[in-house]
């Protein structure tokens, strides 16, 4: 017959309270992780859209200069399209053959464009056909202005924006504001000199 020894204090295991405490802590940490990594969060969607457009604009600028093309960007309600100017028939066409310029729709987002010298913000829906909102030219120049990414149906008024300079750099608007005295652009100084 096998004799059982009484369990020592060190070999007893965990109490029910200790196990429940660990389960509750894990649940709280998982809840925080899910909320912070939520891909459906409108702020994250706007940031992702802005970063994707910023990268695509940098690539489009290089392609425009390298291939001597005029590239336009047409803003849609929840997405955007890159257009190429065909000099043969003087028409714009969608750059469907370039996989780097494919964009999935960002639901719940509205895009708008504001020229550097214009006071009002315009949406692309106002322009018929394949007309770009702004250009990246083969000479290295671009249409200066601001691209706004707004969250729709969100009470917080979330917004991201990119500033496109006249030399084709797309930078987050906040970084321009933080360096405003040292790095004011040409269109910022023209706007400041305009009569009010």
* pLDDT (0 to 100) of residue 145: 93
pTM of the model: 0.67
CB 83 within 8 A of CB 73: yes
Residue 122: which pLDDT band, with cuts at 50, 70 and 90? low
CB 122 within 8 A of CB 133: yes
pLDDT digits over 80-99, tens only? 999 999 989 999 999 988 88
pLDDT digits over 125-160, tens only? 555 678 999 999 999 999 999 999 988 877 777 888
| HEC-encoded secondary structure of 30-86 | HHHHHHHCCCCCHHHHHHHHHHHHHHHHHHHHHHHHHHCCCEEEEECCCCEEEEEEE
Q: Which residue has the higher pLDDT, 115 or 1?
A: 115
* pLDDT (0 to 100) of residue 189: 46
pLDDT digits over 8-45, tens only? 656 667 888 888 888 888 988 887 776 666 656 778 88
């Amino acid at each position: 017959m096998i004799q059982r020894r009484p369990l020592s204090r060190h070999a007893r295991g965990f109490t029910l309270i200790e196990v429940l405490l660990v389960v509750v802590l894990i649940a709280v940490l998982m809840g925080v992780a899910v909320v912070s990594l939520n891909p459906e969060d409108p702020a994250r969607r706007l940031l992702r859209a802005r970063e994707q457009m910023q990268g695509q604009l940098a690539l489009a600028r290089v392609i425009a200069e390298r291939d001597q093309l005029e590239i336009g960007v047409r803003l849609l309600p929840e997405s955007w399209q890159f257009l190429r100017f065909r000099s043969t028939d003087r028409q714009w066409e969608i750059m469907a053959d370039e996989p780097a310029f494919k964009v999935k729709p960002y639901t719940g987002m509205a895009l708008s464009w504001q020229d550097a010298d214009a006071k009002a913000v315009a949406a692309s829906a106002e322009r018929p056909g394949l007309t770009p909102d702004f250009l990246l030219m083969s000479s290295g120049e671009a249409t200066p202005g601001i691209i706004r990414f707004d969250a729709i149906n969100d009470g917080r008024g979330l917004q991201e924006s990119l500033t496109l300079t006249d030399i084709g750099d797309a930078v987050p608007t906040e970084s321009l504001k933080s360096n405003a005295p040292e790095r004011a652009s040409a269109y910022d100084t023209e706007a400041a000199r305009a009569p009010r």
